[in-house]
Amino acid sequence: MPAELAITKASTGSLFELRFQARLHGPCFRCLGDAVLDLPIDAREYQATSPGESEDLRTPYVVDDKLDLAAWARDAVALTLPDKILCRADCAGLCPVCGKNLNEEPHTHDEAPSDSRWAALESLREQL
């Protein structure tokens, strides 16, 4: 996968910048159909020359003066992912009654299904 890595040396440390496009395939959160997600990744990390004990001045991706680019790219993709991956923004999902895909077959059901576990309480309500 093509990527752009820029390393800028400053008087206090180094700035690392990573840019690439990621394309992910998987199931839609709502309808379980195929979803394709194109993510622009733009990540930055800073490593101070003398970080001391401060965790804010060092990056976990530089160990022994070696940059772990694979781990950094993986974490950057994970941080960029949305909460829900959808096949499209207006995905209608699956019907909660019959399970049909509402994007392909939009429909409604006339009567709400009754739950047999509530039958005893329903009979009490009718008596009141």
pLDDT in tens, 111-125: 766 778 888 888 888
Q: Which of 27, 23, 24, 25 is nearest to 93 (CA)?
A: 27
How far apart, in whole angstroms, are the C-alpha atoms of residue 107 and residue 104?
10
CA distances in angstroms from 1 to 19, 61, 70, 80, 119, listed in the order given: 11, 19, 11, 17, 59
CA distance linking residue 103 with residue 91, whole number of Å: 7
Domain segments of the chain as ranges: 3-91, 92-128
Q: What is the pLDDT of residues 37-50, one digit of tens each?
A: 999 999 999 988 88
Q: Over 70: is that where the pLDDT of 62 sits?
A: yes
Phi, psi torsion values for 60, nearest 5 degrees: -75, -5
Q: Is the model's pTM score more than 0.85?
A: no
